[in-house]
Amino acid sequence: MALNLFLRRDFLRGGLTAALALELAGPARASALTSAAIDTLHLLCTGPAGSIPDTVARRSAEQLTGPHAKRVWVDNRPGAAGQIAVSALKAAPADGSTLLLAQGAIATVYPYLYPKLGYDPQVDLKPVSLAGEMTLGLAVGPAVPAGVTTVAELVDWMRRHPKLANVASPGTGTLPHLLAAMLFRQAGVEWQHIVYAGGPPALVDLMGGQVAALVLPEGLLRQHIASGRLRVLATSGAARTALLPDVPTLAEAGYPGLEVREWFGFFMPGRASGGTVEAASLALQRALARPELVRAFADLGMVAASSTPAALTARITAEQRIWAPIVRATGIKVE
């Protein structure tokens, strides 16, 4: 099954259409949509302080302060795979004063992973804009012999050492976990999933030799390559990345169907009006296009990318159709 979750042309076209519509609407319409009518914007975030979602939220907040709101407060609500933050969003006013920055999986994957999910994405979440995308990387540490430098060699080593074939992830049901499950299922190799409460502790144990392999965003892996304590064997994008140009993609490694890019997006309460969502989306599109924010995201290994609400809604719908059978095939369930 081909897994292509990267639809860049559609979203660039959607963002361009929105910008053009704003210009054609005239000065009065543009002023009404972008004026700083919001006194305080609460920006909920699914990640803890210092995490990638937190950094994305804080860099975005800097750009939204002034043009869109007089002040922006980032409110970290980590835990329960984003459900705590979504619950806070559901209870918030739908007047444009609250936004949620979250991983796209809260709308595309988690409905199929959690039998008792505490929200309905189609009812409780109003997509506003894409925020950015990042490629995942498959890395091994000192628990794996230095001679293992390719995915094929890793699979062969795991087959010969099944008791050592443990692979870490930042959480059950996260995109890194699902990518590992799809990869090793396709490779036909047995493995043990070692669950961590986030990427940093998993990365520490990988470099310490407690686990053999790990899937994480490549931006988190790159900074540790020079130490020699980890090796990135493949990345999950459609092409090699600027961060790791010498590392092949999973497609080049013999797994052409595994093309995955993790993305983050902004959401409003499901009760928010179309005009309220549109105003926030246009403000975000302009903020995400600013060079200083693009550079800040690039330091995280992320590509800044905005979208219209309609384009993001379409992406979520398309990815739900892809992820539903994949989650069923992996057999992963989270209670």
Residues 190-225 as b or e (16 or more Cβ within 10 Å = b): ebeebebebbeebbebbbeeebbbbbbbbbbbbebb
Tens place of pLDDT per residue across the chain (335 aa): 445 554 443 444 444 444 444 444 443 343 334 444 799 999 999 988 888 889 999 999 999 999 899 999 999 998 887 889 999 999 999 999 999 999 999 999 999 998 888 899 999 999 999 999 999 999 999 999 999 999 999 999 999 999 999 999 988 888 999 999 999 999 999 999 998 877 888 999 999 999 999 999 998 898 898 888 999 999 999 999 988 999 999 999 999 889 999 999 999 999 999 999 999 999 999 999 999 999 999 988 899 999 999 999 999 999 999 999 989 888 888 87
Residue range(s) in the chain whose domain bears CATH number 3.40.190.10 = 136-259
Q: Are strands 69-76 and 38-45 parallel, antiparallel or unpaired?
A: parallel
Q: Which fold has domain 3-134+261-330?
A: D-Maltodextrin-Binding Protein; domain 2 (3.40.190)
Name the token pair of 227. 């130490």
| Residue 45, CA distances (Å) to 58, 91, 280 in order | 9, 15, 16
What pLDDT, on a 0 to 100 scale, did the predictor assign at position 6? 45
Instruction: Using the structure block, give the residue that is written with the tokens 């989270």.
Output: 334
Residues 2-23 as b or e (16 or more Cβ within 10 Å = b): ebebbbeeebeebbeebbeebe
117: helix, strand or coil: coil
pTM, full prediction: 0.83
The residues, ordered by sequence, that sit 6+ positions from 5 with a Cβ below 8 Å of its Cβ are 259, 260, 261, 319, 322
Residues 195, 167: contact at Cβ < 8 Å? no
Residue range(s) in the chain whose domain bears CATH number 3.40.190.150 = 3-134+261-330
Which of 328, 170, 175, 172 has its CA nearest to residue 264?
175
What pLDDT, on a 0 to 100 scale, did the predictor assign at position 8? 41
CA distance 104 to 265: 6
202: region left, alpha or beta (phi > 0 left; psi from -120 to 50 alpha):
alpha
State the CATH architecture for 136-259.
3-Layer(aba) Sandwich (3.40)
Name the token pair of 44. 């909920």
What pLDDT, on a 0 to 100 scale, did the predictor assign at position 291? 96
Residues 111, 121: contact at Cβ < 8 Å? yes
CA distance 38 to 329: 45
